[in-house]
């Protein structure tokens, strides 16, 4: 199974933990980051296969800050944790930028909070930025914005962030690189009878019983956070692999079909999960009415909905909300995520994309609803 899941993945989120990035807190591991950067570059270029889009979610800012500040124990005070994150983030971003540039790759630092992904407008802005970076062949390096947000430091972890990013960019797979080979039925450091789990279903409650607590004094997570992250990623159809980050060529071997680590399989395909979510929406704040030509393009040709084909806007909705698409007779033919709020959509009816900036002062997207965010509800 792992051979097809990773081999067929075209968009991959890779998450690496603090203990790996900082060599158990001794400072940024230049050689390891260089190795992952080499593999990321090879994936983007499609060496030995099809080109991939990759996003790196990297821990390590607080641990690197602690090292730079000469602290041997993780502080308890929030302001000290934030200070450590601020100091460490400089070195972390610089290291990835240097190592990716050595491989001929562009990189970008993206700092996110859970609030960015909870607010729909900020969620869409973050999504648009990341998808643009991927389209440009740039590798985004993401970390939590620990320098300004309290609850991310107290309760957050980058395993969860990795899963949220996988949902955000609709990744095919999430790869969590850790300091363990994968999941065991019990803690192998305490139970010699523990057996390795090669493959399981993401979200299986039995997996949570197998996972232990936090794994080290440097990182905040543990196997349980990885199991829960896999469950969250599966919600949007992404399968997860938990593997040892120091395995030679681990990323390249995974995408070439080698069975490394623990594979937690999503039971719903990516597109099916997203479209089922839209189809199941019970309450919609509004709708757009389209002409017969636009209705035919949506229904028969699988096209996106362009504002030039819209004749009317109903209700009051925000950007990113699920709206109905109705044909000239008023029958619902589709549902999808609106790229523009209702007030803006009314201005764009019957207008070509060349006029958007003049009407709105900006251009978010050329489509009202992109075909990837649209599901037909009638034949």
Give the residue numbers of the binding site for ATP.
15, 178-179
Residue predicted with more confidence, 313 or 67:
313
What does the pLDDT read at residue 145? 81
Bridge partners of 312, per DSSP, are 289
The total of other beta-carbon atoms located within 10 Å of residue 346's CB is 15
Contact assessment for residue 43 and residue 199, using Cβ atoms and an 8 Å cutoff:
no
Nearest alpha carbon to residue 18 among 241, 229, 227, 218: 218
pLDDT band at 338 (very low <50, low <70, confident <90, very high): very high
> Residue with structure tokens 């009878």?
193
Query: What domains appear along the chain, each with residue ranges and CATH number?
Result: 2-269 (3.40.1160.10), 281-376 (2.30.130.10)
Q: How many residues does the chain have?
A: 379
Taking the C-alpha atoms of residue 190 and residue 324, their distance in angstroms, rounded to an integer, is 55
Contact assessment for residue 154 and residue 76, using Cβ atoms and an 8 Å cutoff:
no
The average confidence (pLDDT) of the chain is 88
| Phi, psi angle pair for 368, to nearest 5° | -75, -45
Percent of the chain with pLDDT over 90: 60
Q: What three-state secondary structure class fits 116?
A: helix
Question: In the predicted model, is pLDDT for residue 213 greater than 80?
Answer: no
- Across residues 304-329, what is the average pLDDT? 95
Taking the C-alpha atoms of residue 349 and residue 267, their distance in angstroms, rounded to an integer, is 39
Taking the C-alpha atoms of residue 103 and residue 90, their distance in angstroms, rounded to an integer, is 20
Question: In the predicted model, is pLDDT for residue 320 greater than 90?
Answer: no
* pTM for this model (two decimals): 0.80
Report the relative pairing of strands 262-265 and 286-290 from DSSP bridges. Answer: unpaired
The total of other beta-carbon atoms located within 10 Å of residue 121's CB is 12
Give the residue numbers of the binding site.
15, 59, 146, 158, 178-179
What does the pLDDT read at residue 150? 65
Give the residue numbers of the binding site for substrate.
59, 146, 158
What does the pLDDT read at residue 116? 79
Question: In the predicted model, is pLDDT for residue 276 greater than 70?
Answer: no
Taking the C-alpha atoms of residue 276 and residue 342, their distance in angstroms, rounded to an integer, is 24
Contact assessment for residue 67 and residue 22, using Cβ atoms and an 8 Å cutoff:
yes
What does the pLDDT read at residue 219? 44
- Across residues 355-362, what is the average pLDDT? 94
Tens digits of per-residue pLDDT, 93-121? Answer: 999 999 999 999 999 999 988 777 777 77
| Phi, psi angle pair for 14, to nearest 5° | -110, 125
pLDDT band at 323 (very low <50, low <70, confident <90, very high): very high
């Amino acid at each position: 199974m792992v051979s097809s899941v990773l081999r067929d993945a075209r968009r991959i989120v890779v998450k690496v933990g603090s203990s790996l990035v900082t060599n158990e807190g001794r400072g940024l591991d230049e050689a390891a980051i260089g190795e992952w950067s080499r593999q990321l570059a090879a994936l983007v270029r499609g060496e030995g296969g099809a080109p991939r889009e990759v996003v790196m979610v990297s821990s390590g800012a607080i641990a690197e800050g602690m090292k730079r500040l000469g602290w041997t124990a993780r502080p308890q005070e929030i302001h000290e944790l934030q200070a450590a994150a601020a100091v460490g983030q400089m070195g972390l971003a610089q290291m990835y930028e240097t190592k990716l540039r050595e491989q001929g790759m562009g990189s970008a630092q993206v700092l996110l909070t859970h609030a960015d992904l909870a607010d729909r407008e900020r969620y869409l802005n973050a999504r648009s930025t990341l998808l643009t970076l991927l389209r440009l062949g740039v590798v985004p390096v993401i970390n939590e914005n620990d320098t300004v947000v309290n609850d991310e430091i107290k309760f957050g972890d980058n395993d969860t962030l990795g899963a949220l990013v996988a949902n955000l960019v609709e990744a095919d797979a999430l790869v969590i690189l850790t300091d363990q080979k994968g999941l065991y039925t019990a803690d192998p450091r305490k139970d010699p009878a523990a057996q390795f789990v090669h493959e399981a279903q993401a979200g299986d409650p039995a997996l949570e019983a197998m996972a232990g607590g936090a794994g080290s004094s440097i990182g905040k997570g543990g196997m349980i956070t990885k199991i829960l992250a896999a469950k969250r990623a599966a919600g949007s159809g992404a399968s997860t692999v938990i593997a040892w980050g120091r395995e030679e060529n681990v990323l390249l071997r995974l995408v070439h079909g080698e069975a490394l680590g623990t594979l937690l399989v999503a039971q719903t395909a990516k597109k099916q999960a997203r479209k089922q979510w839209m189809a199941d929406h019970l309450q919609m704040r509004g709708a757009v009415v389209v002409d017969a030509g636009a209705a035919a393009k949506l229904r028969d040709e699988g096209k996106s909905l362009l504002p030039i084909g819209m004749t009317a806007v109903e209700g009051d909705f925000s950007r990113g909300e699920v709206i109905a698409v109705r044909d000239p007779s008023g029958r619902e033919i589709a549902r999808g995520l609106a790229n523009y709020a209702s007030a803006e959509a009314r201005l764009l009816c019957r207008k070509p994309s060349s006029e958007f900036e003049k009407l709105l002062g900006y251009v978010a997207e050329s489509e009202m609803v992109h075909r990837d965010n649209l599901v037909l509800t009638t034949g």
